[in-house]
């Protein structure tokens, strides 16, 4: 199964959410989750538009399409907005890919993934999402992606992030996701701090019995749920 950026993010929030999404489970309805999703989308669109204006004059590249290796080899565009890159079983829809022309003869361009984050303080989930973007972009282009940017918060501050460590952690995370998706049954249900923003909240809140009884988790530094005694 293809691991998309949506499945990747779902896993970082909660392995059960990742499994349910991969299975195509129907959301049980959560008004707050929908509001959070809409706000993030509004921020992304607004920040992308501001970035395009700042980089002007620029050559706007493809939008909302699938970019193959040949699209990068022959690129003359400066920015591709909302484009999708795919390699092996990984796929990411990247908010913006910036192309920086290089003078090195063997490498005509450097590609930089840019991610927009609404909050004023990006967290480890945001960093790992950028790492995932960089990983898939690197595999697609066949070139190293040395750094990416997170543009965040009210001031739309730009944060430059070296991708070597976060990309490696993202790669390790995809291996964990593969294991979960191959299990065929959902992982243990562990309630966590993401539940209020999750579209499956009502489903997970239903009374559980016996072995399926939900446990509680405390957040860890990398955003993954860690089980504790209830
Ligand atoms: S409601 Fe909580 S436990 Fe259930 S899938 Fe969502 S984040 Fe995971």
Contact 97, 147 (CB under 8 A): no
How confident is the model at residue 21, as a pLDDT?
95
Asked, for residue 84, whether it belongs to a domain, the answer is yes
Contact 212, 189 (CB under 8 A): yes
Asked, for residue 199, whether it belongs to a domain, the answer is no
Q: Quickly list DSSP for the chain.
A: --EEHHHHHHHHH-HHHHHHHHTTPPP---HHHHHHHHHHHHHHHHHHHHHHHHT-S--EEEESSEE-HHHHHT---SEEEEEEEEETTEEEEEEEEEEEE---TT--EEEEEEEEE-SSS--HHHHHHHHHHHHHHHHHHTS---EEEEEETTTTEEEEEEHHHHHHHHHHHHHHHHHHHHHSSPPPPEE-TTGGG-TTHHHHHSPP-GGG--EEEEE-TTS-EEE---
Following CA atoms 17, 22, 24, 27 in sequence, which dihedral angle do they give, to the nearest 10 degrees?
A: 20
Its domain, for residue 96, covers 3-13+24-184
Which has the closest alpha carbon to 97: 114, 117, 73?
Answer: 114
Asked, for residue 194, whether it belongs to a domain, the answer is no
Q: What is the pLDDT of residues 110-137, one digit of tens each?
A: 999 999 999 999 999 999 999 999 999 9
Q: How far is CA 91 from CA 75, 128, 180, in A?
A: 20, 15, 18
The pairing of strands 147-152 and 109-117 is parallel
Ligand 1 pocket, residues with Cβ under 6 angstroms: 13-14, 16-17, 20, 189, 191-192, 194-195, 198, 200-201, 204
Return the best residue to mutate from 33, 194, 218 for the ligand 1 pocket (most ligand atoms within 8 A of CB). 194
Residues 91 and 66: their CA atoms lie apart, in Å, by: 10
Asked, for residue 19, whether it belongs to a domain, the answer is no
How confident is the model at residue 50, as a pLDDT?
92
Asked, for residue 196, whether it belongs to a domain, the answer is no
Count of domains observed in the chain = 1
Contact 93, 5 (CB under 8 A): yes
146 Cα–ligand 1 center, Å: 34
Asked, for residue 35, whether it belongs to a domain, the answer is yes
How confident is the model at residue 75, as a pLDDT?
84
How confident is the model at residue 210, as a pLDDT?
47
Return the best residue to mutate from 28, 191, 197, 217 for the ligand 1 pocket (most ligand atoms within 8 A of CB). 191
Q: What is the pTM of this model?
A: 0.87
Phi and psi angles of residue 88, each rounded to the nearest 5 degrees, phi first: 50, -120
How confident is the model at residue 228, as a pLDDT?
36
* For ligand 1, atom 5: residue with the closest CA: 17
Asked, for residue 197, whether it belongs to a domain, the answer is no
Residues in the chain with pLDDT values less than 70: 56-63, 104-107, 207-230
Asked, for residue 192, whether it belongs to a domain, the answer is no
How confident is the model at residue 229, as a pLDDT?
34
């Amino acid at each position: 199964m293809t691991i998309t950026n949506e499945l990747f993010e779902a896993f970082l929030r909660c392995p059960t959410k990742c499994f349910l999404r991969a299975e195509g489970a129907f959301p049980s309805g959560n008004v707050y989750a929908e509001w959070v999703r809409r706000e993030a989308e509004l921020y992304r669109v607004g920040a992308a538009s501001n970035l395009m204006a700042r980089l002007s004059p620029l050559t706007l590249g493809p939008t909302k399409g699938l970019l193959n290796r040949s699209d990068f080899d022959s690129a003359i565009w400066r920015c591709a907005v909302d484009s999708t890159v795919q390699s092996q079983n990984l796929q990411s829809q990247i908010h913006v890919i910036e192309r920086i022309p290089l003078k090195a003869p063997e490498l005509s361009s450097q590609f930089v993934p840019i991610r927009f984050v609404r909050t004023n303080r990006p967290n480890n989930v945001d960093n790992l999402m950028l790492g995932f973007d960089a990983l898939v972009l690197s595999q697609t282009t066949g070139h190293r992606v040395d750094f990416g940017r997170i543009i965040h918060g009210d001031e739309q501050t730009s944060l430059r992030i070296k991708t070597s460590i976060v990309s490696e952690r993202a790669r390790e995370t995809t291996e964990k996701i593969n294991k979960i998706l191959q299990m065929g049954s959902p992982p243990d249900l562990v309630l966590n701090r993401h539940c209020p923003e999750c579209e499956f909240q009502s489903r997970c809140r239903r009374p559980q019995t016996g072995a399926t009884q939900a446990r509680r988790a405390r957040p860890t530094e990398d955003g993954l749920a860690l089980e504790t005694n209830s």
